[in-house]
Amino acid sequence: MGVFMEKIYDETFDSGRHLWYRNVPLSEQAKFGLTIALNASTVTEIIDRLSAERVHNQNIFAYFYDQNESGNAITESFRISLMVKINESSVNVRFNLSDLDFAEHLQEIQGFEKMMIEKLTEEFVN
């Protein structure tokens, strides 16, 4: 696969199976902050990884951490992340990013979340 994505944790709790991945290419460094870099190969790899991990009738919570750190107006830094919850009847997707990245890329993020929900729903929801 073209995207280097490393699974770092795999835990099962009462709420379901929780999977954590790092080095997921969700952004690229830019002159000011980051440029959101959401591409088809990343989406395909996320879906392939979740398909391989899926166990019937089990909720999946997946956390995908970017390789880059982002900052905000009060000088805190954190990693951009994508969170996904899948169960038999629904899919939820949340993209977490800094204030500047939100301001610069809101429409792109909303489109990406919508597309991810549609593709994951096709793949996983009965």
What is the separation of C-alpha 10 from the centre of its chain, rounded to a whole number of angstroms? 16
Highest mean pLDDT among 2-6, 32-36, 74-78: 74-78
More confident residue, 69 or 85: 85
**Number of compact structural domains in the chain:** 1
| Angle subtended by helix axes 99-124 and 40-53, to nearest 10 | 50
- What is the domain extent for residue 102? 6-124
Residue 39 identity (one-letter amino acid): N
Residue 1 domain-assigned? no
Note the pTM of the prediction, 2 decimals.
0.87
Nearest to 54 by CA among 88, 3, 6, 7: 88
Q: Is 54 exposed, middle or buried (0-12, 13-18, 19+ CB in 10 A)?
A: middle
> Average of pLDDT values for 110-125?
91
- Residue 26 scores a pLDDT above 50: yes
Residue 13 domain-assigned? yes
Structure confidence at residue 1 (pLDDT): 43
> Average of pLDDT values for 31-47?
81
Q: How confident is the model at residue 41 (pLDDT cuts 50, 70, 90)?
A: confident
Residue 67 identity (one-letter amino acid): Q
State the average pLDDT for the chain: 86
pLDDT > 90 fraction of the chain, expressed in percent and rounded: 40
Residue 14 domain-assigned? yes
Q: How confident is the model at residue 46 (pLDDT cuts 50, 70, 90)?
A: very high
More confident residue, 5 or 86: 86
Q: CA dist 47 to 7, 8, 44, 50, 63, Å? A: 14, 17, 5, 5, 13
Residue 116 identity (one-letter amino acid): M
What is the separation of C-alpha 73 from the centre of its chain, rounded to a whole number of angstroms? 23
